[in-house]
Every structure is written in structure tokens, then in C-alpha cells.
A and B are shown apart, each in its own frame.
Chain A
């Protein structure tokens, strides 16, 4: 089956992206310069849901250190990115929430680990922007909070908010956001409702490790339920992308309309038997 898939891929003029094991997918990455100390790695997942768990194990076993990890969370003590914290391979985390990890807490309080907290939507958008070639964008999230400290702030007016006269309908309900001149103290009427936005930059990594449900030899990926989370954006926002999937199907089997990540983004993929650990098993009370 795997053989057929590989031939299918080659027949389309593509070098084989499918690797038979996680170890095989990582084997030449140091020699190729993809894996190196101090590199930036994006790791998909929300909590332990949709994490590329077997690729994380391989990253640990590769021994690379001083990593900057961009991931929404930091795993738990004995699973996910928690494993790389244990081995002190991570120097910096860019995350939105890291609450479930005691080793993280210890290293952070001891000053051994740097952390940059991003609002979750800002993190997601920074990754999306990085992958889309957008160097920076403005968002209202975080204005007036420590997150915006030292960053550029600009005022814009959203079309539907351009209520120049109170109790009247807006002059425009669609169109482009209008950039506002520096604030002059509002006097009387004719003051559009302006709002402050903070400039956030895009993120791009050396390597992205993503988890999908099904993939094909071209690298087309389909995610499953809430295991999708950060994976699709990360697949677009790194120089080298490895996907861990539960099933590889022959090219042509995935309905083109149903593909979430086009295969061109993916450099390698490997089928694994994921454990898929659950953090908070909650069932209906009988």
C-alpha cells in the first residue's frame, strides 16, 4: 500500500515525501541544515489535542537545543513539548497559555526559560500572516495592556462605526477601514468613532511540525475535528514542514474540495500510531 502511494507520487514527478518512520523523516535533517541549535520551531496543537506527538519525540531525540518554540501551549510534564522542557532543549516559548506544566513553572521562575505571551488570536494571526507573506498587521486585541507596550499604535475607523452624528445611521456601513489623522480633541459633532489598534508582526519558523488526520503522497492534508487548531497556519509558516498523519491514502483519494492544507506546503509526511492523550476526560453525568 505504502509502495503504491510512493509510486503514485513519483509518477507525478514529485520526490518522495512519505517517510516510513519518524526516525527516517528526521534522519538527514541535521546534515541538510534543517535541524540546528537555536532554531525556531512551530508545533501544532491546542493542549494535547492535535499535537504532532511522535514528531516531538523525534525532535527531543535529535538533541537540538536552545530552541525557540512557537506553540499555543507547552504540553504537560510528561507529554508534548513538556518532554523538551524536561531535557532543557527549549530556550524560549511563544505561547498564549502554559498553565498545565509544573516543569515549565519551575524553569520559568528560575529564569532558565524565556516566555513571550501572545493573545491566542494574535498568535494565530501572526502565524497566518507569516505564512501569507504579510510582515505585520494591526489589531485591537491587547491595546492598553502589557502586550502592546512599546509597539506602534494607530487609530482607524471601521466603516460601520463611522457614526458622525449621534442617533443617526452611520454614513458608511461598508468600505475600507479609514486611517485616522492624529487625534485632535473632539469638538462638537463630526467625530467618527475611532479606535486604537496595535501593530503586530508576522511569524515564520525554520521548521513546523504539524499533525493531521489523513494525508496523501503530495502532502495534501485533512484535519479532524478540533485537532485542526493551529496546524493549518503552521503548515504555511515555516521553511520546512513535516506532517504526522494517522493515515496515508493514494493520490486522488482525497476529495479536492475537502483538502484543508494543499500538498505544496508539506515537505515530508509520516504515518504514525498516535496515542492521543486526553487532558480532561469529561463524560456526561448519568
Chain B
């Protein structure tokens, strides 16, 4: 069985370490905040100028001046700070954010990512995605392994316009986990979803990858 969106988020949450500065994208990555492991305390960064996102507000505490990158009303946790967009992206581009978890339309075997435009379709803009993949220390992509009609998303070369080149450190799909090996410049399949097989993953993947000798099963 492929992982559900929540199980995928749960697996991604295990990449967080105590004290990390974390930026979460829209979609599955947003769910990661619900599964931060016990004993791990992280600071969630919001690209619009907040370090230390708190929970959603109670009805009476909704503040139009306090939103996240998805434009949702939020709160700030004790110890949080507000800053300008240029300070926020200095934090992101300067390598001061430990991990970014974001979605993708395609990831290539060269660790390229495409997640902002489909030619011929209306382009909404890249927002902060290009800054995140270029500047954050560790880039983790969460996505469904294939698109509608079983179209490959983990591909030899991205056919969609890139968001960033050679920047993905880890890919977590609903079928498998791949780690980028810098020395070999290759993705290594390290974990399978319960019930998934290497053959199934290979059939649903266009990209070349190696398989780790000590292949694990994702615990859910």
C-alpha cells in the first residue's frame, strides 16, 4: 500500500532534529508540523517574515497582521521574531535554515527539481521556492511517486522548467525514500513503503538510482 499523505508527512517529520530551523512548503509538507517527533523542538520559519510559527489561533485571537506563507491566519510562539522579507530571504539564501521540506512536480536523477510551472498552463509564480532550494542546507522533497495515469515524476531529466539544479538531498514518495549520494552523484533507494517492492518502484520510475544493500521498510 502506498503511504497516505499523512504517513508521508510522518516519515518526512523524522528528518527533523532538535533545534532545527525549518521551512515547510504548501501541501503535504504543511502536514509535517502535525508529526514532529516527541522530544524534538523545532523553529518553523515563514518566508513572509516570522521565525517561530505557533498553532492556528482561537477564533477571538485571529489577527489579519499575522499570517503564514499560505496566507492562513496563525500565531507566533513564545520566542518568535518578526522581520522583513529581505531579512527572511537572507535567512533562507544565506544558509541559515537547516531544512526545507517541499513538494514537486518532477525530480530528476541529477537532483534537479521542477515545481513551479507547466508550459501552456497559467503560471502563478515561483514564490519563494527557488530561494529555498538554492539556499537551505538540506532540501527534502515529498511527492506522490507518479502523477495521474502513472506518469513518471522521478525522471531522468526534468521536462518541466526547473526550480533549482542539483539541489535535492532526499526524496520521499508514497512508495519509497531516496537519499542523494554526493560522492556517487546518484540517488540511493534506502526505504520502501510497506508492501512496495523494488521492481514496482523501478517500474514507476524513469530515473536511474542505486539500491542500498540494507534496504529498510518505512515504519508507519
Interface residues of A (CB under 8 A from B): 46-50, 72, 95-100, 105, 108-109, 115, 117, 119-125, 127-128, 139-147, 213, 223-233, 260, 276-285
Contact = CB atoms under 8 A, between A and B. Distances in A.
Contacts of A49: 48, 64-65, 67, 71
Given A97-B127, A226-B67, A281 B134 contact: no
Given A97-B127, A117-B126, A280-B67, A140 B134 contact: yes
- Residue of B64, B82, B129 with most chain A CB atoms under a 10 A cut-off: B64
A282 B74 contact: yes
Contacts of B48: 46-47, 49, 226, 229
Given A47-B71, A143-B165, A284-B57, A228 B62 contact: no
Nearest to A274: B64
B92 interface: yes
Contacts of A115: 123
Contacts, number: 175
A226 B134 contact: no
B84 to A, nearest CB: 5
Given A49-B67, A278-B73, A284-B57, A141 B134 contact: yes
Contact of B93 (A121, A145, A229, A284): A121
B128 A120 contact: yes
A209 to B, nearest CB: 16
Given A96-B128, A226-B48, A146 B161 contact: yes
Given A120-B127, A143-B164, A228-B49, 20 more contacts: A46-B48, A49-B64, A96-B125, A97-B124, A120-B47, A121-B88, A121-B92, A124-B86, A140-B93, A141-B130, A141-B131, A147-B130, A225-B76, A226-B48, A226-B65, A279-B71, A280-B70, A280-B72, A282-B57, A282-B72
Contacts of B163: 145
Tell me what chain B mostly uses at the interface: helix, strand, loop, or mixed: loop
A122 B134 CA distance: 11
Contacts of B67: 46-47, 49, 226, 278-280
B73 A122 contact: no
Contacts of B130: 119, 121-122, 141-142, 145, 147
B46 interface: yes
Interface of B: 46-50, 55-59, 62-67, 70-74, 76, 82-86, 88-90, 92-93, 112, 117, 122-131, 134-135, 161-166
B112 A227 contact: no
A104 to B, nearest CB: 9
- A47, A72, A145, most chain B CB atoms within 10 A: A145
Contacts of A285: 56
B1 to A, nearest CB: 27
A225 B76 CA distance: 9
Among B92, B124, B129, B135, the one with the most A-chain Cβ atoms within 10 Å of its Cβ is B124
B123 A226 contact: no
Contact of B65 (A124, A125, A227, A260): A227
A223 B130 CA distance: 27
Contact of B126 (A96, A282, A283): A96
24 contacts: A46-B85, A49-B64, A98-B124, A108-B122, A117-B126, A120-B131, A121-B88, A121-B90, A121-B92, A121-B131, A124-B86, A124-B88, A125-B93, A143-B134, A143-B164, A145-B161, A225-B76, A228-B49, A231-B84, A260-B84, A278-B62, A282-B74, A284-B56, A284-B58
Given A125-B89, A283-B56, A228 B84 contact: yes
A105 B122 contact: yes
A230 B66 contact: no
A144 B93 contact: no
B165 A144 contact: yes
B162 A145 contact: yes
A111 to B, nearest CB: 13
